[in-house]
Chain A
Amino acid sequence: MIIQVCIGSACHLKGSYKVIQTLKGLIEAEGLEDQVILKSSFCLGACSGAVSIQVDENPVEPLHPEEVIRFFENRVKGVTQREIHRV
């Protein structure tokens, strides 16, 4: 899984750094470094919402810095573990 976090100006102001730091911490805490690649990106073209992120080739979505933990629990942790089970 590749998660791109926008570090363009609009998102930088809304807290890209916090999103990246929190996600990085969670990925390390869960030992998912091999399965989740965290990348920064420039403008993803959806500047009006919260911090823009993109998971794999899915549509760009907004992610508020306060909601990173919930996002991680629902969208990252469960999914990557399912992938492991399948393997």
Chain B
Amino acid sequence: MRTFENQVQLVKYEVLKEVARLTFQDQLEALYVRIPNVVNPGPEPRFRCCIHHERAVTKERIKMAMGGTPAIPGVVEVLDAACDQCPVSRYKVTESCRGCLAHRCQAACPVGAIQVLQGKAMIDESKCVECGRCQSACPYNAIVDTLRPCMKACPVEALSINAQKKAVIDYKKCIQCGACVYNCPFGAIQDKSEIVPIIRKLMAARQPGAPQVYAVIAPAFASQFNYANLGQIITGIKRLGFRDVVEAALGADLVAVHEAGELLSHLEHHRYMTSSCCPAFVDFIHKKHPQVLENVSGTVSPMIAASKLIKAVDPAAVTVFIGPCIAKKAEKALPELAGITDYVMTFEELISLLDAREIRLEELPESPMNNASYYGRIFAGAGGLSKAVVATALKLTPASDVKVVAVAGDGIKACDKLLKLAKANRLEGNFIEGMACEGGCIKGPVALHHGAKDLKALEAYAKLALEEDAIAATRIFDDVEIALGRKLEKRVG
């Protein structure tokens, strides 16, 4: 049985499913206005203050499911009706304040913002600088940090609060990692969806001679569907109308071989190189550490490599990446990569399509999927990418004098630290793996699951691989010409 991680995931899913259902029936334009009444039939509200508020939020989710606001440059948007206007002031004294004699909070405050009135500590918000010292000083834990979850989650301080107390994203700072989408408890930040054009391409592909649609599935899928086995998921995706399902891990194998070769030659003239698979990490470098751009790998991501592979075999192909990632939606639209991966769909969106077609994965026969190697598959977990690149580099030049030492940046904060060390010439290694999501892609913001068993499921899927390593998995494509390099230039604006 499918379970939802929380009700945010559920309400998002309900809307996506209705939009998908109407699109499959070719009735979206005529009937989408009715979706709020289907999803929120009323008369009682389920979560919010009243049914009208719920329907207003649903309307905004429908808009996102249908592609969002074109004028907004990012792939994530704040839904104004859904944003609950969380507290603006950060530190609050709670009822646990016992009105003690020591007043450690007051002594700790560097700006004199705390007064004790009638036996209780009070924070003067006009003076408070949000340093948090009072909170750590209080022996009763009576002071709480009410920093907005979206702001707390954002690793690049792209979120702020406007005069109406609503969250606002600064797209000049945003790296599209999706941490705010996953962390907002009200589901008020959502990713733009492409399910409508994807479904239309799938429908069109039924006509003889029409371009065929191919799915590129991220290795993280191994930990997503605990109610169905991997072979059933592949069958399910094919039943949606995809001609074939290709492992993004196979693209990762191509990347491992290309990137390992690139690394060995890069190290002849440079101290270190970073990975380039994670688009949020690459964007982070563009925005925060543009000085190190010359050390970023010029190899494309596994998603792009797999899509290029498909188009090399079938030039008319329409490629759809299915994964746990929001940043991939931005990556595929970058000017230097546009037109390679045509659409990006999340696992959340995938289940809405399957359910709209009433495809029950657990009842389907299994299809095989086994082209990629162990190494291509472990890219999805933190540390996996570097393990693959190191192993491939060793295999390419076993007698090389250059010893590849990888350091894994697990999450943007860890990446930031490593990049700073690298700038200061104090990096203990020569290959940086950069992953925006802590734990790697399997912990992506639009993964269906964020559980302790995810890594085990990924490892189990990786071990099923028949191909020994990345070189063996990609030998079949020796004759297929695919350019895996890309030019990284300073982005303007």
- What is the interface of chain A, defined by CB distance below 8 A to chain B? 7-10, 12-13, 16-17, 20, 24, 39-43, 47
Contacts and interface: CB of A to CB of B under 8 A. Distances in A.
A20 B476 contact: yes
Interface string B362-376: 000001111100000
Given A9-B369, A9-B371, A42 B214 contact: yes
A24 B479 CA distance: 10
Contacts of B368: 9-10, 13, 47
B243 interface: yes
27 contacts: A7-B313, A7-B371, A7-B476, A8-B244, A9-B234, A9-B367, A9-B368, A10-B367, A12-B370, A12-B371, A12-B476, A13-B368, A13-B370, A16-B476, A17-B475, A24-B479, A39-B313, A40-B476, A40-B477, A41-B313, A42-B214, A42-B243, A42-B244, A42-B246, A42-B310, A42-B313, A43-B243
A51 to B, nearest CB: 12
Contacts of A24: 479
Nearest to B371: A12
Nearest to A38: B479
Contacts of B466: 13
B230 to A, nearest CB: 11
Nearest to B480: A40
In this complex, which of B244, B314, B479 has the most chain A Cβ atoms within 10 angstroms of its Cβ? B244
Interface core residue of B246, B310, B476 (most chain A CB under 10 Å)? B476
A12 B371 CA distance: 7
Nearest to A20: B476
Interface in B43-62: none
A25 B449 CA distance: 47
Interface in B239-291: 243-246
Most buried by B among A7, A16, A42: A42
Given A10-B368, A13-B370, A41 B314 contact: yes
Given A9-B245, A9-B367, A12-B370, 7 more contacts: A8-B244, A9-B368, A13-B466, A24-B479, A41-B313, A43-B238, A43-B244
A47 B367 contact: yes
Give the interface size class of chain B.
20 to 34
Interface in B420-478: 466, 475-477
A42 B313 CA distance: 7
A41 B246 CA distance: 12
B322 to A, nearest CB: 16
Interface in B5-41: none
Contacts of B245: 9
Contacts of B477: 40
A13 B368 CA distance: 8
Contacts of A41: 313-314
A16 B476 CA distance: 9
Contact of A17 (B246, B314, B367, B476): B476
A49 to B, nearest CB: 14
A5 to B, nearest CB: 10
Interface centre among A9, A13, A24, A40 (most CB of B within 10 A): A9
A64 to B, nearest CB: 17
Given A17-B475, A42-B214, A42-B310, A9 B370 contact: yes
A39 B367 CA distance: 23
The 6 closest A-B pairs by CB, nearest first: A43-B244, A42-B244, A9-B369, A9-B368, A10-B368, A17-B476
Which of the listed residues A10, A12, A17, A20 has the most CB atoms from chain B within 10 Å of its own CB? A12
Contacts of A39: 313
A17 B466 CA distance: 13
B344 to A, nearest CB: 19
B254 to A, nearest CB: 14
Contacts of B479: 24
A86 to B, nearest CB: 29
Contacts of B238: 43
Contacts of B475: 17
Contacts of A7: 313, 371, 476
Contact of B313 (A10, A13, A40, A47): A40
Which of A7, A16, A24, A39 has the most chain B CB atoms inside 10 A of its CB?
A: A7
A42 B370 contact: no
A50 B395 CA distance: 32
Nearest to A11: B368
A10 B466 CA distance: 12
A70 to B, nearest CB: 23
Contacts of A42: 214, 243-244, 246, 310, 313-314
Nearest to A24: B479
B75 to A, nearest CB: 28
